[in-house]
Amino acid sequence: MTTSLSELDAWGDFDRDDPFPLFAQVRSAGPVHEVTLADGHRAWLVAGYEEARAALSDPRLSKDMHAALAHSGEVVAEGLPGPALARHMLAVDPPDHTRLRRLAMPAFSKGRIDGLEARVRAISDRLLDALERRGGTARPVDLVAGYAFPLPFTVISELLGIPEGDRADLGGWFRALLDPHPGPAGHNTAVAASRQLIAYLGELIELKRRAPGVDLVTDLVVAADRDGALTEQEMASTIFQLVVAGHDTTTSLIGNGTVALLRHPVQRDALVADPSLVPRLVEECLRWDAPVPHSTFRYTTEEVRLGGAVIPAYAQVIVSLAAANRDPARFRDAESFDPDRSDAGHLAFGHGIHHCLGAPLARLEGRIALGALHRSFPAMRLAVDPADLHWNHGDGLVLRGLTELPVLLGP
């Protein structure tokens, strides 16, 4: 299809709090579209499920933005923190991808992740106790700041071996980068945070050299120093990517999942009554409102035919996981939230060689966090009108998470 979204009169001016009607409109017009982004760049949007799966496993679609831009001659303003931290597995192709992914793989094996269950439960219990102390059942509390953010952030920090005393600064820098305040002041704060983060990651690597621990950063330092398995830049980039992928995604799974459950009281009551339903519920939360990332990017290295479209070489391709996950050609009654559905296979964790390395950890955290929260506070409700929830959607393509989720824990 060559229909542009602007022709559909949709892309520039859609409801970013509820992008799903737009996705449905786009999908019904065809699975692949050429689109104009807010900054004027042309790109190709993949909205159909089969086409998204095909794109994610096609070796002609690269993750290496710099290589693609070098060929196309196009200049695209790079987001923060910029090239210094862009040498990680999710930004490169094989063989570098294979090498970098292998180095982190042991830390995310099923056995290692299963071993974290008691620790994740303990973190969840501690945070829930603190929420209750702070809000009681009558005063609103912010579930993002008090639960959905600190739970995965603590888990990934412990896994990487980030000293406890450094985590508040680190969390602040990530917030400034991932969810900047609008305008020049917000931009300047994000630039400063980016510099501090790059400096900090260098210091962390040196710390682990001097005082090794039992953690993933130490493993990376050993692999670099003993085997020359990765460069300093790759090491800093990998730590950066693991912290981002390890918390922002799961924060939005817990936040978006909670909103989904509050909007579906029958399913929520069933979960409260029967904890064995939690795994299926988490899968449906992932499909129905795919957390960050809502879409992911690729670049063609040659001309590619996909879903009836001919995408030229060195073009940007946006694979909308959220649109694919509601494709009626793949999922029965796709717009409905139905944890009992039998048609598994959502793309919230991607597909192909970049399939989410942390999926077992994300599932463990999502199950514990959503299960414990809703069983602890069965009468919990939103403290604001749903229309007043703020989604940190940026351009509406990649991010979909709440900046705040004010709730009352009691009736």
The CB-based long-range contact list for 128-137 (8 Å cut-off, 24+ gap) reads 128/372, 128/373, 128/376, 131/409, 132/376, 132/409, 135/408, 135/409, 136/409, 136/410, 137/377, 137/379, 137/408, 137/409, 137/410, 137/411
Which residues within the stretch 348-387 sit at the binding site for ligand HEM (CB under 6 A)?
A: 348-350, 354, 356-358, 361-362
Q: Which is nearer to ligand HEM, 5 or 356 (CB)?
A: 356
Phi, psi torsion values for 32, nearest 5 degrees? -135, 130
Interface map 68-107 toward ligand HEM (x if CB under 6 A): ---------------------xx----------x------
Q: What is residue 113's three-state secondary structure? A: helix
Q: Which is nearer to ligand HEM, 10 or 173 (CB)?
A: 173
With binding defined as CB under 6 A, does residue 325 bind ligand HEM?
no
With binding defined as CB under 6 A, does residue 245 bind ligand HEM?
yes
The pair of structure tokens assigned to 205 is 């690597």
Q: Which is nearer to ligand HEM, 47 or 245 (CB)?
A: 245
Q: Which is nearer to ligand HEM, 135 or 339 (CB)?
A: 339
What does the alpha-carbon distance between residue 302 and residue 290 come to, in Å, rounded to a whole number?
30
Q: Which is nearer to ligand HEM, 267 or 295 (CB)?
A: 295
Q: Which is nearer to ligand HEM, 135 or 255 (CB)?
A: 255
With binding defined as CB under 6 A, does residue 161 bind ligand HEM?
no
With binding defined as CB under 6 A, does residue 401 bind ligand HEM?
no
Interface map 25-64 toward ligand HEM (x if CB under 6 A): -------------------------------x--------
Cβ–Cβ under 8 Å, residues 230 and 114: no
Least distance to ligand HEM from the beta carbon of 367, Å?
11
Phi, psi torsion values for 388, nearest 5 degrees? -95, 5
| C-alpha to C-alpha distances, 321 to 43, 77, 126, 154, nearest whole angstrom | 16, 24, 33, 27
Which residues within the stretch 276-305 sit at the binding site for ligand HEM (CB under 6 A)?
A: 291, 293, 296
Tell me the residue type at 152. P
With binding defined as CB under 6 A, does residue 251 bind ligand HEM?
no
Q: Which stretch binds ligand HEM (CB under 6 A): 70-78, 247-255, 310-318, 377-385?
A: 247-255
With binding defined as CB under 6 A, does residue 120 bind ligand HEM?
no
Nearest one of 41, 52, 20, 42 to 350, comparing CA atoms? 52
Q: Which stretch binds ligand HEM (CB under 6 A): 68-76, 114-122, 208-216, 347-355?
A: 347-355
Phi, psi torsion values for 19, nearest 5 degrees? -80, -5
The pair of structure tokens assigned to 401 is 């998470």
Task: Measure CA 34 to chain center.
Answer: 24
Q: Which stretch binds ligand HEM (CB under 6 A): 39-47, 192-200, 203-211, 242-250?
A: 242-250
Q: Which is nearer to ligand HEM, 242 or 306 (CB)?
A: 242
The pair of structure tokens assigned to 245 is 């992928």
Given candidates 157, 237, 250, 316, which one binds ligand HEM under the rule CB under 6 A? 250
